[in-house]
Amino acid sequence: MKTISILGSTGSIGTQTLEVVRENQDIRVAALSAGSNIRLLEQQIREFHPQLAAVWSEEDAKSLRIAVADLPVQVMSGMEGLEAVAVCEEAEILVTAIVGMIGIRPTMAGIRAGKDIALANKETLVTAGHLIMPMAEEYGVKILPVDSEHSAIFQSLNGENRSRIHKILLTASGGPFRGKKWEELKTMRVEDALRHPNWSMGRKITVDSATLVNKGLEVMEAKWLFGVELDQIQVVVQPQSIIHSMVEFVDGAVIAQLGTPDMKLPIQYALYYPDRRYLPGDRLDFAKLGSITFEDPDTETFVGLKYAFEALRCGGSMPTVFNAANERAVSKFLNHEIGFTDIYAIIRECMDGHRVIPSPDLGQILDTEQSVYEMIESRW
List of residues contacting Mg ion (CB under 5 A): 147-149
Distances (CA, A) of 336 to 4, 190, 298, 342: 37, 7, 26, 11
Least distance (Å) from ligand NAD to the CB of residue 205? 4
**Given the rule CB under 6 A, which of 61-69, 115-123, 153-161, 288-296 is the region that contacts ligand NAD?**
115-123
CB 289: neighbour CB atoms within 10 A? 12
Q: How far is the CB of 77 from ligand NAD (least distance, A)?
A: 9
Note whether 152 binds ligand NAD by CB under 6 A: no
- Judged by CB under 6 A, which of 101, 111, 120, 376 binds ligand NAD? 120
8 A C-beta contact, residue 300 and residue 180: no
The maximal CA–CA distance of the chain, rounded, in angstroms, is: 62
Q: Of these partners, Mg ion, ligand NAD, none, which one is at the site of residue 303 (CB under 5 to 8 Å by kind)?
A: none
Among 29, 30, 32, 34, binds ligand NAD (CB under 6 A): 34
To the nearest whole angstrom, how small is the minimum distance from the Cβ of residue 361 to Mg ion? 28
CA dist 335 and 315 (Å) reads: 30
Cα(141)–Cα(166) distance, integer angstroms: 26
In the complex, the smallest distance separating the C-beta of residue 257 from ligand NAD, rounded to whole angstroms, is 15
Closest CB to ligand NAD among 56 and 249? 56
Query: Quick check: 229 and 180 in contact, CB under 8 A?
Result: no
Q: Is the CB of residue 167 less than 8 Å from the CB of residue 280?
A: no
Nearer Cβ to ligand NAD (45/120): 120
Residue 123 within binding range of ligand NAD, rule CB under 6 A: yes
- Give the C-alpha separation, 282 to 284, whole Å: 7
Number of chain residues interacting with ligand NAD (CB under 6 A): 29
The reply on whether position 202 binds ligand NAD by CB under 6 A is yes
The yes or no reply on residue 53 touching ligand NAD (CB under 6 A) is: no
| Separation in Å, CA 34 to CA 5, 45, 154, 158, 258 | 12, 11, 28, 33, 32
Q: Which of 150, 304, 298, 148 has the alpha carbon at shortest distance from 212?
A: 304
Cis-peptide into 274, omega within 30 deg: yes
Q: Does 14 bind ligand NAD (CB under 6 A)?
A: yes
CA distance 312 to 322: 9
Residue 108 binds ligand NAD (CB under 6 A): no
CB of 276 vs Mg ion, minimal distance in Å: 20
Distance CA 57, CA 103 (A): 16
Question: Of the candidates 3, 28, 35, 198, which one interacts with ligand NAD according to CB under 6 A?
Answer: 35
In the range 288-347, which residues lie near ligand NAD by CB under 6 A?
Answer: none
Q: What is the dihedral of CA 218, 221, 225, 229, to 10 degrees?
A: 90
Q: If contact means CB under 5 to 8 A according to the sort of partner, which of Mg ion, ligand NAD, none does residue 175 touch? A: none
Give the nearer residue to Mg ion in terms of CB position, either 123 or 149: 149
264: nearest Cα among 97, 63, 139, 74:
97
- Name which position in 21, 45, 76, 263 contacts ligand NAD (CB under 6 A): 263
Name the one range near ligand NAD by CB under 6 A: 189-197, 202-210, 290-298, 321-329.
Answer: 202-210
Judged by beta carbon, residue 148 or residue 326, the one nearer Mg ion is: 148
Q: Which of 99, 132, 303, 325 binds ligand NAD (CB under 6 A)?
A: 99
Q: Return the CA Rg of the chain.
A: 20
Least gap, CB of 375 to ligand NAD (angstroms): 22
Residue closer to ligand NAD, measured from CB, 152 or 349: 152
Site string for ligand NAD, 345-374 (x = CB under 6 A): ------------------------------
Q: What is residue 361's three-state secondary structure?
A: coil
CA distances to 147, 209, 226 from 154, in Å: 10, 21, 8
Q: Which residues bind ligand NAD (CB under 6 A)?
A: 8-14, 33-35, 37, 56, 82, 97-99, 102, 120-123, 147, 199, 201-205, 263
